[in-house]
Structure 1
């Protein structure tokens, strides 16, 4: 299980992996009743396994950092800043105390988790899969992003579109507003490997975000967002560390 001690404020720890075809019982053992109930609702076994693996590693990571047992870590949600509903607000760590922040992402059997102390963080991973790029560009991409994707070689257009998508997801997760944000208004500068992106969200004081792509397995693309003022060194933060997986590790990410 991932264990870390002595994490400094403004640090980010990242874990990623690929779940096996079946859920590991050790993962289920540390999940809450609500998490186990949700796990049972997945109809595709490898998606259920990825859900359990990601949430178990998140629990072990927060627990290892704080000195708490993984099964005693408690998660909750703030009320949505736009509608006031507590069912889909920003995810938070309710126990243990310590200013813990996290972000979690899953796509197919792949998952990634980022944990930080005292700094907002957003992470997103996506399997590169066929999507209607031309139909989606006008609704989700900024003008500059559309030009970037349109100028890409035909075989690279899908990847460049997904690069924009994962970067946007990472930013809106970090800000806490999620996919309800106006994605067209966020320019993630896909041609820049480490852009500073402006994004304002109600309830979040951060405006400038440091973005970067993560090194992940072929067939996937991922991004991380942290506040520019966090002091997190991009070269260190933008590196995925393989966590415990329910299948053999993916090798050096």
Structure 2
């Protein structure tokens, strides 16, 4: 495999400097042949093999661009080549990076939806979770809410004007997904019992909370949403 360091032509800092030592970067996943070819040159053999399993161009593009960006960002932070980095996962499925076979003290998480990807890098190695969802209509919004929301959250959604329901649901869903990904136990948590803090449900940009489902840790949630997408970041509080 060739060792290639690529410039950040399709990723850039997102709301830089607002989350302690955690860096958040936006990945442009729109179709671009030049970016896609550059990304392929960064992926290792295992990633290229995984890429073949995707049947459609959109998922292939999102995987390759996000994974190549992640490799390049980690290589920059670790002062190494992209081909020296490998990836593994815990028993619960949370991924981590290795340098020459040894786990590195850098935490990360990524998410993508449509033409947008977000990558969170914890330079202190603390757990971090991020989620992004493009604002596209959901035909089964009420059914989704009944599955993943607490009674209080469902009541607030039911009383919301129709034109606000999707945005409010996505704010809840991305926050819950970010928390689950930061905690690192997969979907063993019951999201219908995991209540997003009321200040964030009301539109505040950040909130802290603790939950019996994750004892011993206070968590910070940040609302990263903008017009094209809803997004959230979760990490232990206080962030380093």
Normalised-by-shorter TM-score class: 0.7 to 0.9
Pick from 136, 161, 166: which aligns with 1:158? 166
Deviation digits for residues 44-65 of structure 1, max 9, x if unmatched? 2132112111111111111101
Q: Contact 2:27 / 2:119 at 8 angstroms: preserved in 1? A: no
Relative distance call for 1:201 and 1:64 in structure 2 (3 A) is: farther
**Aligned equivalent of 1:147:** 155
1:102–1:67 distance in 2 versus 1, CA, 3 Å: same
1:51 aligns with 2:58: no
Gaps of at least 5 residues in structure 1 are: 5-9, 81-88, 232-253
| Number of the residue aligned with 1:127 | 134
Q: Secondary structure of the residue that 2:111 maps to in structure 1?
A: strand
TM-score by structure 1 length?
0.77
The C-alpha deviation readout for 1:196-250, integer Å capped at 9, x for no partner, is 1324667xx752211111144x33111101111324xxxxxxxxxxxxxxxxxxx
Match of 2:234 among 205, 225, 232: 225
Equivalent residue number for residue 186 of structure 1: 194
Could you tell me how far apart the structure 2 residues matched to 1:200 and 1:225 are? 17
The question of 1:197 aligning with 2:209 is answered yes
Residue number among 40, 49, 58 corresponding to 1:28 in the alignment: 40
Aligned length: 216
Greater RCO, CA 8 A, separation 6+? 1
The correspondence of residues 1-253 of structure 1 with structure 2, limited to 5 A, is: 1-2=7-8, 11-21=21-31, 22=33, 24-80=36-92, 89-95=93-99, 97-117=103-123, 118-131=125-138, 132-189=140-197, 190-193=201-204, 194-199=206-211, 207-216=217-226, 218-231=227-240
Task: Using the TM superposition, give the Cα deviation of residue 175 of structure 1 relative to its aligned residue in structure 2, in angstroms.
Answer: 0.3
Specify every segment of 5 or more residues in structure 2 that has no aligned partner in the other structure, as ranges: 1-6, 14-19
More divergent stretch after superposition (56-65 vs 143-152) = 143-152
Q: Which SS does the other structure have where 1:119 is aligned?
A: coil
Q: Is the 8 A contact 1:187 1:197 kept in 2?
A: no
Q: Take 1:153 and 1:46, find their aligned partners in 2: how far apart are those partners?
A: 33
- The whole-number CA distance in structure 1 between the counterparts of 2:180 and 2:212 is 9
CA contact (8 A) 1:123 1:173 kept: yes
SS in 1 for 2:52: helix
Question: Secondary structure in 2 aligned to 1:30?
Answer: coil
Structure 1 residues 19-28 or 145-154, which shifts more?
19-28
Rate the CA distance shift 1:201–1:34 in 2: closer, same or farther, 3 A. Answer: farther
